[in-house]
Amino acid sequence: MNIYALKGHIVKVTVDAEGKVVNGESNDKKLIEEHLEVGKEYIVDHTRVHSWSTEVYLRGFPGISFNSVNFESVSEQTNGQDACHDDYEKYN
């Protein structure tokens, strides 16, 4: 997924051909399996980009951060829009 996703960006959980969550550490996978549905689209509230990972906060799941490696973007966002993200200048 686009780590600079702005509020309203749409994502889905990344899975393998068998529908299993494949990315991230075991705690990342467990969090996905406990809270989200495979195939369902979710709306990004915001992301926090770090040098080693990115936290994804989804609308409807306050206070829960997911690992960005567990998602793929459904909606598109331009490079110009990426530059509007609060963390963009730190890493570009």
pLDDT band at 47 (very low <50, low <70, confident <90, very high): very high
In a domain, 71, yes or no: yes
Residue 68: inside a domain, yes or no? yes
Q: Does the CA dihedral 12-17-20-26 come out positive or negative?
A: negative
- The tokens describing 19, both together, are 């529908």
State the residue range of the domain holding 78.
Answer: 10-91
**What total number of domains does the chain contain?**
1
Percent of the chain with pLDDT over 70: 100
Please tell me the pTM assigned to this model.
Answer: 0.93
In a domain, 3, yes or no: no
Mean pLDDT for the chain?
Answer: 95
Residue 61 belongs to some domain of the structure: yes
> In this structure, is residue 72 part of a structural domain?
yes
